[in-house]
A = this chain, B = another copy of it.
Amino acid sequence: MRATLLYAADDVRVEDVADPKIQNPTDAVVRIVLSCICGSDLWPYKSLPPSDQPRRMGHEFLGVVEETGSEVRGFEPGDVVVAPFVWADNTCVYCREGLQTSCLNGGGWGVNGVDGGQGQAARVPYADGTLVKLPVGEDSELLPDLLTLSDILCTGYHAARTAGVEGGDSVAVIGDGAVGLAAVMSAKLLGAERIVLMGRHTQRTDLGRDFGATDVVAERGDEGIAKVRELTGGEGAHKVLECVGLKDALVQSFGVVRDGGTISRVGVPQSADVPFGVGDFMRNITLTGGVAPARAYIEELMPHILSGALRPGRVFDRTVALDDISDGYRAMNDREALKVLVRP
């Protein structure tokens, strides 16, 4: 089959790789119908040192079950399924608590002999634990929306949930990327009263307004902080959803959060340097979040998509064929595209 390989920064190729096969009785093989490129794929795309051992790319996909191992009980060939961006047995002590990202037997896509999501098919370990059935056909118009259950919608929702967003809250969302926009949508779903989206790209922030942002602040740094404070009666936001991962975004988060408030970060941190000073301690600021256990939220969020109440698939503003995926990477990296769908 064809799959996406990253050889070095700026060197994405689609090549022939081994067809996936059942290796363990708990595996399934899924023919991929729709995949996409993630903001987090851009970090290695920007920086990976050249190597003879290219990296298999992609961790967001949905598709059709082609084959199941002898111990798979919940799926059969023909089922349309979505996979979260981490596979997991969904039975261990962490999975039972909804922390599938810490599954004792789980792991990531594209590493250790597991296929990536940007290809024509994938072997899915622990299929019963990992996959979730989608009650639609593989030609459904909802597929782009449902694909966001793989990562970005659940990641934005994780930010809002771990921040404890609740009715009446003021929420600041840092970052107008796909996850930031999903965080806006999630904050609204949880009843936030005021949702301030901090971002500079008008097309994206306009979509953020559609998703529920009550205000947009384009300014950054001290000026942006002052604006958010002005919008929140001088106090700052009860909850801040940090959807970027850069230190500046975290500094901004501490600047806009209200005393006693919570910052939840879901953008993969690009530095271990956390600017959490004594002043923030005196203000009783909480820093939470982390990599999102998407699997924990899929069943909860899917009905909102099926009913049409949530349309997170609107973040996809470009579609490429698998063989043209390098153009998709380039477009996202150049900020020409917000998020790119890939059709194998």
A residues neighboring B (CB under 8 Å): 93-94, 97, 99, 101-102, 162, 235, 259-260, 265, 268-269, 272, 274-278, 280-291, 293
B284 contacts A278, C-beta separation under 8 Å? no
Contacts of A280 in B (CB 8 A): 290
Q: A274-B276, A275-B272, A278-B269 are in contact. Are A97 and B290 (CB under 8 A)?
A: no
Contacts of A260 in B (CB 8 A): 94, 97, 99, 102
22 CB contacts below 8 A, A to B, read A93-B235, A94-B259, A94-B260, A97-B260, A99-B260, A99-B284, A101-B282, A101-B284, A102-B259, A102-B283, A162-B286, A268-B278, A268-B281, A269-B281, A272-B275, A274-B276, A276-B276, A280-B290, A281-B289, A284-B291, A284-B293, A286-B288
Q: A268-B281, A276-B276, A285-B290 are in contact. List 17 more A-B contacts (CB 8 A).
A: A94-B259, A97-B260, A99-B260, A101-B282, A101-B284, A102-B259, A265-B281, A268-B278, A269-B281, A272-B277, A282-B290, A283-B290, A284-B293, A286-B286, A286-B288, A287-B287, A287-B288
How distant is the Cα of A222 from the Cα of B284 in the complex, in angstroms?
29
Contacts of A269 in B (CB 8 A): 277-278, 281
Copies of this chain in its oligomeric complex: 2
Contacts of A268 in B (CB 8 A): 278, 281
How distant is the Cα of A101 from the Cα of B277 in the complex, in angstroms?
16
Closest to A260 in B: B99
How distant is the Cα of A269 from the Cα of B285 in the complex, in angstroms?
13
How distant is the Cα of A281 from the Cα of B277 in the complex, in angstroms?
18
How distant is the Cα of A274 from the Cα of B254 in the complex, in angstroms?
14
How distant is the Cα of A1 from the Cα of B275 in the complex, in angstroms?
43
B290 contacts A281, C-beta separation under 8 Å? yes
CB distance from A273 to the nearest CB of B (A): 9
